Structure 1
Amino acid sequence: MTDQDWMAQVRALVGKEYGRVYAWDKVNAPMIRQWCEIMGVAVKQNAAGQAIAPPAMLQVWCMEGPVANNYPPGSTTENPYEVLKLLEGQGFGSVVAVNSELTFDRDVVEGEDLYYTTRLDSVGEQKTTALGTGHFVTLVMDYYSIGAKNGRDEHVGQLLFRVFKFRPAQQPKPAAAPAEAPQKARRPMPGVSDDNRFFWEGAREGKLLIQRCKGCGELHHPPGPVCPSCHSFEWDTVQASGRGTVYSFVVMHYPEVPPFDHPNPIGLIELEEGSRLIAQLVGIKPQDVQIGQKVQVEFNAFNDGELVLPQFRPVA
Structure 2
Amino acid sequence: MTPEELKAFEEKVRAYVGREISPRRKGKDDVNAAMIRHWTEVTEDQNPVYSDAEFAAKSSKKGLIAPPTMLQIWSMEGYPMCKNPTKDLQRELHEVFNSYGFTGSLGTNTKTEFYRDLRPGDQVYYHTIIDNISEPKKTARGFGYFVETATAFTDQNGDPIGRQIFRVLKFIPAQQEAAAGSDAPVKAPTRIQSPRGHDNAWWWEAVDQGKVLIQRCKSCKTLRHPPRPMCGECQSLEWDSIESTLDGEVFSFTEISYPKFPGYPYPLVTGVIQLKEGTRLVAGIVGCDPSAVHIGMKVTGKVEKVDEKTSLPQFYPA
- TM-score scaled to structure 2, two decimals? 0.57
1:153 to 153, 159, 163: 159
After TM superposition, the structure 1 = structure 2 runs for residues 107-256 of structure 1, keeping only pairs within 5 Å, are 108=118, 110-124=120-134, 127=136, 136-146=146-156, 153-155=159-161, 157-163=162-168, 173-175=181-183, 189-201=193-205, 203=207, 204=209, 206-209=211-214, 244-250=248-254
Match of 2:303 in 1: 300
Change in CA separation of 1:292 and 1:146 when aligned onto 2, cut-off 3 Å = farther
More strand by share: 1
Match of 2:72 in 1: 59
- Contact kept? 1:137, 1:164, Cα under 8 Å: yes
CA distance in 2, matches of 1:256, 1:9: 24
Q: CA deviation at 1:235?
A: 9.7
Q: CA deviation at 1:193?
A: 1.7
Change in CA separation of 1:119 and 1:226 when aligned onto 2, cut-off 3 Å = farther
RMSD of aligned residue pairs (Cα, Å): 5.8
Match of 1:180 in 2: none
Change in CA separation of 1:224 and 1:135 when aligned onto 2, cut-off 3 Å = same
More helix by share: 2
CA distance in 1, matches of 2:100, 2:210: 50
Change in CA separation of 1:266 and 1:171 when aligned onto 2, cut-off 3 Å = closer
Write out per-residue CA displacement over residues 78-135 of structure 1, whole angstroms, 9 at most, x where no aligned residue: x6649948x939x7673666533132426645544222222443455x5475966x86
CA distance in 1, matches of 2:17, 2:264: 47
CA distance in 2, matches of 1:120, 1:127: 17
Q: CA deviation at 1:201?
A: 4.6
Change in CA separation of 1:49 and 1:211 when aligned onto 2, cut-off 3 Å = farther
Change in CA separation of 1:153 and 1:238 when aligned onto 2, cut-off 3 Å = farther
- Contact kept? 2:125, 2:153, Cα under 8 Å: yes
Q: CA deviation at 1:287?
A: 4.5
Change in CA separation of 1:197 and 1:293 when aligned onto 2, cut-off 3 Å = same
CA distance in 1, matches of 2:199, 2:148: 35
| 5+ residue gaps, structure 1 | 72-76, 178-182
Equivalent pairs: percent with the same residue? 30
- Contact kept? 1:198, 1:209, Cα under 8 Å: no
Q: Does 1:312 align with 2:315?
A: yes
Q: Alignment partner of 2:80: what SS?
A: coil
- Contact kept? 2:146, 2:170, Cα under 8 Å: yes
Amino acid at match of 1:116: Y
Q: CA deviation at 1:24?
A: 0.7
Change in CA separation of 1:172 and 1:15 when aligned onto 2, cut-off 3 Å = closer
CA distance in 2, matches of 1:304, 1:259: 9
- Contact kept? 1:138, 1:162, Cα under 8 Å: yes
Q: CA deviation at 1:293?
A: 2.0
CA distance in 1, matches of 2:72, 2:132: 21
Match of 2:102 in 1: 94
Amino acid at match of 2:125: Y
Amino acid at match of 1:196: N
- Contact kept? 1:27, 1:111, Cα under 8 Å: yes
Write out per-residue CA displacement over residues 283-309 of structure 1, whole angstroms, 9 at most, x where no aligned residue: 65544322222345x442538998654
- Contact kept? 1:45, 1:52, Cα under 8 Å: no
Change in CA separation of 1:65 and 1:219 when aligned onto 2, cut-off 3 Å = farther
CA distance in 1, matches of 2:14, 2:308: 54
CA distance in 2, matches of 1:211, 1:170: 45
How many residues are paired up?
A: 284
- Contact kept? 1:245, 1:270, Cα under 8 Å: yes
2:28 to 24, 28, 35: 24
- TM-score scaled to structure 1, two decimals? 0.57
CA distance in 2, matches of 1:8, 1:252: 33
CA distance in 2, matches of 1:21, 1:226: 48
Q: Alignment partner of 2:203: what SS?
A: helix
Q: Alignment partner of 2:204: what SS?
A: helix
CA distance in 2, matches of 1:42, 1:186: 36
